[in-house]
Amino acid sequence: MSNKLKAALLGASGYTGADLLRIGVLHPQLEFTALTANTHAGKPLGTVFPHLDGLGLPRLQQTDDMKWQDFDVVFCGLPHATSQEIIAEIVENHDRPRIIDMSADYRLRDPDSYQKWYGNKHIAPHLQEKAVYGLSEHYREQIKDARIIACPGCYPTAALMALIPLAKAALIDPADIIIDAKSGVSGAGRGLKQNTLFTEAGESLSPYAVASHRHSAELDQEISLAAEQQVAVGFTPHLIPMSRGELVTCHLRLAEGKSAADLRAALKAKYDVEPFVHILDEGVMPSTSMVRGSNLCKINVFEDRIPGRAIVIATLDNLVKGSAGQAIQNFNIAFGIEETTGLQQVAMFP
């Protein structure tokens, strides 16, 4: 009999779902026994994702048919609002499985903030409060015992990896953070949207959700916690004509008497022991091609030419460290499995 942990994946016909399967299918302690979809339910997975054909993975099915008690873990790659209902239904009525959610529904601790940014009232605020924010390197201890692990958004994963240690050590002014962010088109999911069409996203670079992106709420929440004061973070995302990858450039004001070298030292002290977060050597430019397909986040620190300021740049693959890879990392932490298991892919280059 297999001693693998049994997993269901909700939203297996989406981009995060596909990458979770690409990575997870080789994980020695994970077995996907059910995969769900909505419009694609009933189809063999290989007809939806030919690159996942022939791997022995189950056919896509409706979420309604699931027997939740049969699973040790449920990975959730559904749109927000949909996932909150399914997750509440599972957690309220069953003592297992554990939930690893890639959507935004359980990331925000404050129900009012959720309603403000997502436009709908959260149906399970009591569960929202209990869920653990799944930024692996910063919430490892809480993830070990969590019933619901709310994986961060892709932009916040990159930005917070760079900024939390700096805010915690009071090396920067947390009220003066400007994040200029870029993402590949897969960040928007597989659903048909006009701005992600090849004809419209190709050969073009454009900002979106200027001063109004939902990830601002997560960024404010986590930077405020780290800095122990309520702050609002400047954040402007841009769509870049490439499939995957993300890069955030953080413009920072240094705390009185601090230098870019202090920021570098703090980040190195935090991440030297971490397998997935690397501080690049001085002067090396981070690029999405360094992390493509891997669970890595690479960061570098630059002195600004404006006195008293610094620039910190972080890059990751939105579908790996920014969602599916971090979800598997959290699975490893939650189930006491060596954290790098199944996640040691080297970046794809060129």
Ligand X SMILES: NC(=O)C1=CN([C@@H]2O[C@H](COP(=O)(O)OP(=O)(O)OC[C@H]3O[C@@H](n4cnc5c(N)ncnc54)[C@H](OP(=O)(O)O)[C@@H]3O)[C@@H](O)[C@H]2O)C=CC1
Which amino acid, residue 308? G
State how far the Cα of 63 lies from the Cα of 327, in Å rounded to an integer.
Answer: 20
Q: Which helix (H) or strand (E) holds 92?
A: helix 82-93
Q: Which does 239 bind (CB under 5 to 8 A by kind): ligand X2W, ligand X, none?
A: ligand X2W
The answer to whether 267 and 279 are in contact (CB under 8 A) is yes
Determine if 79 is a binding residue for ligand X (CB under 6 A): yes
Task: Tally the residues of the chain.
Answer: 350
210's CB contacts (< 8 A; 6+ apart) are 236
Q: Which residues is 141 bridged to in the sheet? A: none
State how far the Cα of 261 lies from the Cα of 253, in Å rounded to an integer.
Answer: 14
Q: Which does 190 bind (CB under 5 to 8 A by kind): ligand X2W, ligand X, none?
A: ligand X
Closer residue to ligand X in complex, CB, 97/322: 322
Closest residue by beta carbon to ligand X: 14
Note if 297 is an active site residue: no
- Binding residues for ligand X2W, rule: CB under 6 A, are 80, 103-104, 153-154, 183, 187-188, 215, 237, 239
Listed residue (258, 235, 261, 257) closest to 248, CA to CA: 235
CA 275 → CA 74, 118, 278, 283, 325, distances in Å? 25, 34, 8, 21, 13
For ligand X, the binding residue among 186, 216, 315, 332 (CB under 6 A) is: 186
State how far the Cα of 174 lies from the Cα of 143, in Å rounded to an integer.
Answer: 26
Closer residue to ligand X in complex, CB, 37/310: 37
Determine if 40 is a binding residue for ligand X (CB under 6 A): yes
Closer residue to ligand X2W in complex, CB, 55/81: 81
Determine if 102 is a binding residue for ligand X (CB under 6 A): yes
The answer to whether 236 and 212 are in contact (CB under 8 A) is no
Determine if 295 is a binding residue for ligand X (CB under 6 A): no
Determine if 195 is a binding residue for ligand X (CB under 6 A): no
Determine if 156 is a binding residue for ligand X (CB under 6 A): no
Give the pairing type, strands 132-133 and 148-150.
Answer: parallel
Determine if 323 is a binding residue for ligand X (CB under 6 A): yes
For ligand X, the binding residue among 7, 68, 71, 80 (CB under 6 A) is: 80
Residue with tokens 């929202």: 128
Q: Which does 237 bind (CB under 5 to 8 A by kind): ligand X2W, ligand X, none?
A: ligand X2W
Q: Which of the residues 76, 151, 154, 250 is marked catalytic?
A: 154
CA-based R_g, the chain, Å: 20
Determine if 207 is a binding residue for ligand X (CB under 6 A): no
For ligand X, the binding residue among 7, 8, 14, 237 (CB under 6 A) is: 14
Q: Which does 252 bind (CB under 5 to 8 A by kind): ligand X, ligand X2W, none?
A: none
Token pair recorded at residue 287? 């690029």
Strand extents, DSSP E, the chain: 5-10, 30-36, 60-61, 73-76, 98-101, 132-133, 148-150, 172-183, 206-207, 234-239, 246-254, 277-279, 297-303, 309-316
- Report, in Å, the least distance between residue 121 CB and ligand X2W: 18
Closer residue to ligand X2W in complex, CB, 12/239: 239
Determine if 103 is a binding residue for ligand X (CB under 6 A): yes
| Count helices and strands in the chain by DSSP H and E runs | 11, 14
Determine if 16 is a binding residue for ligand X (CB under 6 A): yes
Closer residue to ligand X in complex, CB, 11/174: 11
Binding site for ligand X (CB under 6 A): 11-17, 37-40, 63, 77-80, 82, 102-104, 153-154, 186-187, 189-191, 318-319, 322-323
Kindly list the catalytic residues: 154
